[in-house]
């Protein structure tokens, strides 16, 4: 039974409340509920957190070293400059998957670079709230494969 930390970066608490044509109508609560229900089906558990504070996200990753087996993170704007978040993920030793709601590769130049990517197993970008679902599936598969080997 895999235990997963799900982290939502800055401003993602506004999901579903503004610009639905870009970010969809699902709220963060909806997404968290979907992830929990999917985890339950697969005999796993997720704990979800959102914070606008880089330091909180780092604290949560460090605490997760004691209980979690994997991390699913949408770093929001921290994607582009938080080397501290990157170091936290690397130091945790936990497999981490990066998800983005919209396709960061097609955005303005400064938005295309992820300083987090190099310390993640993989990335899923562009599928709206379903990026999270695909990401959780990818993480559970990864942990299962790891278990067997």
Integer Cα distance of 139 and 131 in angstroms: 12
Query: CB of 101: closest distance to a copy of itself in angstroms?
Result: 10
Binding residues for a copy of itself, rule: CB under 8 A, are 9-11, 13-14, 18-19, 51-56, 58-59, 62, 76-78, 80-84, 86-88, 91, 93, 97, 103, 105-106, 110-115, 117-127, 130-131, 134, 137-138, 141-142
Task: CB nearer to a copy of itself: give 6 or 124.
Answer: 124
DSSP state, 56? H
Does residue 53 carry a catalytic annotation?
Answer: no
Does residue 100 carry a catalytic annotation?
Answer: yes
Nearest alpha carbon to residue 130 among 34, 41, 48, 43? 34
Residue pointed to by tokens 């990401």 = 135
**Would you please indicate which residues are annotated as catalytic (active-site) residues?**
23, 100
């Amino acid at each position: 039974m895999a235990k997963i930390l799900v982290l939502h970066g800055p401003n993602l608490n506004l999901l579903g409340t503004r610009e639905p044509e870009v970010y969809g109508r699902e709220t963060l609560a909806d997404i968290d509920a979907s992830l929990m229900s999917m985890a339950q089906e697969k005999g796993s558990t997720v704990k979800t957190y959102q914070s606008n504070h880089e330091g909180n996200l780092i604290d949560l990753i460090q605490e997760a070293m004691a209980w979690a087996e994997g991390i699913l993170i949408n770093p929001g704007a921290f994607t582009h400059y938080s080397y501290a978040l990157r170091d936290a993920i690397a130091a945790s030793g936990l497999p981490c998957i990066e998800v983005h709601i919209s396709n960061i590769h097609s955005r303005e130049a400064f938005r295309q670079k992820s300083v987090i990517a190099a310390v993640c197993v993989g990335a899923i970008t562009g599928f709206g709230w379903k990026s999270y679902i695909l990401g959780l599936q990818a993480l559970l598969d990864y942990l299962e494969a790891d278990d067997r080997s």
